Amino acid sequence: ESQAGAGSVQEIIELFAEVCATHEAELGRLDAVAGDGDHGQGMVLGTRGAVEAGNKALTRGAGARTLLVHAGTAWAEAAGGTSGALWGSALTAAGRALSDSASPDEAAGVEALLNAVEAVQRLGGAQPGDKTMVDAAAPFAQELQKQFQAGGGLAAALTSAAEAATEAAASTAQLKARLGRSRVLGEKSLGTPDPGATSFALLMTALAQRLES
Ligand code: ADP
Ligand code: MG
Ligand code: MG
């Protein structure tokens, strides 16, 4: 028997894996413009590794916290690339905001998401405008915090935050990459949105839709 909240956390990881599988080719094409073209593959491998680790954790009776910490480690290992390391640390950081014994409430969910974004910023060291995942994740976190504090509830706050991430990800097309593999081909990336910002927005949109339904 698994601990409180672990099952719903695992469902979210499975949702992420489905979304990455659906968008694998598109994310690969975006990364091929100024990067090495493996972003779709990295996200698919990473989420698949996370699903497997999550299932193992569930079998052992892990709670939400432990499940996410293990899933994050597995994501980074299975994906290999930069975004895999960042997403891995994001899941692990999200887990550290939760407990193993209590089902996460809405405030804990927000805390977990904000922790995840913070981990990406800390580990990657990217600033807004560098044309990375942070360009979608930072406005997402800001909007999530603002809307949740306004009292509308998690699902509504997340929907509005995911919209902010989607707009911000699209706007990265106007930027030149300065970090990551695409930095050498920064000029080439003009006109194409950042792959990591795009996948971040896709995952948060799917999560928001899941919570709204
Ligand atoms: P790799 O660059 O190792 O092939 P991916 O193709 O999977 O990894 O991921 C590329 C994405 O990683 C970029 O589009 C960008 O969003 C993100 N990224 C790269 N470096 C950083 C960083 N320092 N901080 C945040 N995100 C980053
Ligand atoms: Mg790549
Ligand atoms: Mg690569």
Residue 203 has pLDDT above 80, yes or no: yes
Is this prediction's pTM over 0.95? yes
What is the model's pLDDT at position 189? 85
Greater model confidence, 213 or 16: 16
Residue 6 CA to ligand 2 centre (angstroms): 31
**Residue of the CA atom closest to atom 16 of ligand 1:** 196
Q: What is the DSSP string of 16-84?
A: HHHHHHHHHHHHHHHHHHHS-S-HHHHHHHHHHHHHHHHHHHHHTT--HHHHHHHHHHHHHHHH-SHHH
Residue 1 lies in a domain: no
Ligand 1 pocket residue status of 38, Cβ below 6 Å: yes
Helix pair angle (6-34, 39-59), 10° resolution: 170
Residue 37 CA to ligand 2 centre (angstroms): 5
| Average pLDDT, rounded, for the chain | 94
Domain of residue 36, residue span: 6-212
Residue 181 lies in a domain: yes
Ligand 1 pocket residue status of 42, Cβ below 6 Å: yes
Residue 182 has pLDDT above 60, yes or no: no
Mutate to test the pocket of ligand 1, among 45, 77, 82 (most ligand atoms within 8 A of CB): 82
Residue 1 has pLDDT above 60, yes or no: no
Residue 122 lies in a domain: yes
Q: How confident is the model at residue 2 (pLDDT cuts 50, 70, 90)?
A: low
pLDDT in tens, 120-139: 999 999 999 999 999 999 99
Residue 55 lies in a domain: yes
Share of the chain above pLDDT 70, in %: 96
Residue 178 lies in a domain: yes
Share of the chain above pLDDT 90, in %: 87
Total domains present in the chain:
1
Greater model confidence, 102 or 204: 204
Residue 195 has pLDDT above 70, yes or no: yes
* CATH at residue 199: 1.25.40.340
Residue 96 lies in a domain: yes
Residue 165 CA to ligand 1 centre (angstroms): 16
Residue 74 lies in a domain: yes
Mean pLDDT of 149-165: 97
